[in-house]
Amino acid sequence: MFALLSKFIVYAAYHLKASETYQNTKGFFYDLLENPRSRRKTYFDALMIALIVLSIFFLLYDVEHEASPMGGYVEQSILVIFACEYLLRLWVYSDTHILIIEEYEKALYLNISFNVYAALKKALGRKLDYVWSPFAIIDLLAILPSYRPLRILRIFLIFRLFKLFRYSNSAKLFSDILATKRYELLTLMVFTGLLIFIASVSVYIFEYPEPESKIKSLFDAVYWAVVTLATVGYGDIIPHTIGGRLVALMLILTSLGILSFFTSILIAAFNEKMPVLRENRTYAELERYKDFVIICGYGRVGHEIARQLSKDGQKFIIIDQKPHNIELAKERGYLTVHNDATRNDVLISAGILRGASTVLCITGDDVTNVYVTLTSRNLNPDIRKLTLLGVVSANPIHLKHKNKYEVKQQHFYFNPESKFILRQEDILVVLGRKLGIDHFRDQIQQGRLLKRVKP
């Protein structure tokens, strides 16, 4: 029975891996819930923010009025959506079938028996990692206020407000920036906590015996210390003794240093994150394009091609490793990515799988150009095999067209328009693999394209 169960689970895992429907469905929900560069997620986040605001409105309305049937129906509908969202996020967080396959193939490679329970335990552990994540806890607690019979649970309404942070890019950006400086912030928090403790105990010792003092408990002393450290200074509690005032002076001067240190941490974190933010903005801009060109390299040739494409209104993105080239491209208002075009993740982020029609490899390094070309073909076989760069012609009938350059009593017409009609003796300049160019030449020789050439 155990062996049969193991075989069934392994079979199901391989079936899910091979199922195009399953992969497409999970990819759809991943784009909807988690992919920050997906337009679906943008629309979904806007919808969820509207639902949260609507649910909070009805919950606040019920505080001062009797529960209305309409509010109950709306609340139950929103509850179902929140619950489905929670389960879908749990589903797309990890691939259970991939973990099972990895454990199974590992057992085969090591020639040991496959322990299905250990594999399932590992997969369950990955799911629990999500369950115990901060946003997952907030999602779960945000559902509790919807249970109307237990009004005490509405104290968790605050978690529904926290849920708004999940759908706010600014809030997530700020939390990511803070996470990059968690060691510095933790050090600052420990120092601040010790300072508050010392100041609270000190002012309590000095002020408690004083009859006019309002510090009658240690909590009052902690409250005063926090208010003073934050430079708020309500004035409701003030020290009356010399010792208490000395503590206040020390705390005020120290707080200035703490706030300055905290500000410097934030500024440094934002400066480090700015290149990533610029790239994300570039990728978000590409989401709106359905047909664009990826230019790998912005040297002399890349500069001229980008200028002509921009003049013709063709959308494109430039990928280059050299900061100087990127700065020149930015000065002209082009979309740029300062990264290595040989990396698969860079090409994928640049849209080679979703909108790029052509990849131009003009880095100035033949090895790099060949590598990027092969990588592009592997990632997206539909990338255009031949790219028409221009036409060289001495025929005066073409002079009416734009983007022409005189070349030895002839003209080179860069990126000709679709209405450009070829004439006899015209020379096509194309970019592509030798195999594709040879095939194109064979088609011309066989007369398949001669009907498009006018004498």
User: What backbone torsions phi and psi does residue 308 show, to the nearest 5 degrees?
Assistant: -70, -40
User: What backbone torsions phi and psi does residue 412 show, to the nearest 5 degrees?
Assistant: -105, 120
Cα dist from 30 to 55, 87, 347, whole Å: 25, 12, 20
Residues 257, 300 share a domain:
no
Please tell me what DSSP assigns to residue 136. Answer: H
Does residue 175 lie within any of the structural domains? Answer: no
3-state secondary structure at position 317: strand
Confidence class for position 384, pLDDT limits 50, 70, 90: low
Mean pLDDT of all residues belonging to the chain:
80
CATH number of the domain encompassing residue 331: 3.40.50.720
Q: 401 versus 139: which is more confidently predicted?
A: 139
Does residue 284 lie within any of the structural domains? Answer: no
pLDDT more than 70, % of the chain: 81
Sign of the dihedral through C-alpha 332, 337, 343, 346: negative
Closest to 329 measured CA to CA, from 365, 381, 282: 282
pLDDT at residue 88 in the model:
94
Does residue 49 lie within any of the structural domains? Answer: yes
3-state secondary structure at position 19: coil
Residues 315, 271 share a domain:
no
pLDDT at residue 117 in the model:
87
pLDDT at residue 157 in the model:
65
Q: 366 versus 319: which is more confidently predicted?
A: 319
Which of 365, 384, 403 terminates a domain? The answer is 384
Does residue 281 lie within any of the structural domains? Answer: no
Does residue 283 lie within any of the structural domains? Answer: no
Residues 198, 157 share a domain:
no
Does residue 174 lie within any of the structural domains? Answer: no
Residues 315, 225 share a domain:
no
Residues 162, 36 share a domain:
yes
Residues 340, 432 share a domain:
no
User: What backbone torsions phi and psi does residue 248 show, to the nearest 5 degrees?
Assistant: -65, -45
Domain holding 234, by residue range, is 182-276
Residues 6 or more apart in contact with residue 13 via CB below 8 angstroms:
96, 97, 98, 100, 101, 104
Report yes or no: 138 and 167 within 8 Å, Cβ to Cβ: no
Does residue 45 lie within any of the structural domains? Answer: yes
Residues 264, 202 share a domain:
yes
Does residue 235 lie within any of the structural domains? Answer: yes
User: What backbone torsions phi and psi does residue 249 show, to the nearest 5 degrees?
Assistant: -60, -45
Report the amino acid identity of residue 449.
Answer: L
pLDDT at residue 452 in the model:
47
Report yes or no: 75 and 136 within 8 Å, Cβ to Cβ: no
**pLDDT tens figures, 280-296:** 777 777 777 777 888 88
Domains in the chain, number: 4
Residues 397, 379 share a domain:
no
Which of 220, 255, 276 terminates a domain? The answer is 276
pTM: 0.58
Residues 428, 356 share a domain:
no
pLDDT at residue 90 in the model:
93
Residues 158, 13 share a domain:
yes
CATH number of the domain encompassing residue 238: 1.10.287.70
Residues 130, 23 share a domain:
yes
Residues 6 or more apart in contact with residue 88 via CB below 8 angstroms:
29, 33
Q: Can you tell me the distance from the alpha carbon of 336 to that of 295, in angstroms, rounded to the nearest whole number?
A: 9
Residues 118, 33 share a domain:
yes
Q: Can you tell me the distance from the alpha carbon of 351 to that of 293, in angstroms, rounded to the nearest whole number?
A: 10
pLDDT at residue 84 in the model:
92
Q: Which residues are paired to 215 by β-bridges? A: none
